[in-house]
A = this chain, B = another copy of it.
Amino acid sequence: MTKEEKKKMDSDNNIIYVGNKPPMNYVSAIMAVLSSGSYSEVVLKARGNAISRAVDAAEITHNRFLTDAEVTNIDIGTEVVTNEEGRKSNVSSIEICLTMKKTEK
Contact = CB atoms under 8 A, between A and B. Distances in A.
Interface in A46-79: 48-52, 55-56, 58-59, 63, 71, 74-78
A63 B51 contact: no
Interface of A: 48-52, 55-56, 58-59, 63, 71, 74-78, 90, 92, 94, 96
Work out how many copies of this chain go into the complex: 2
A58 B71 contact: no
Contacts of A71: 76
Contacts of A59: 76-78, 90, 92
B58 A48 contact: no
Contacts of A94: 55
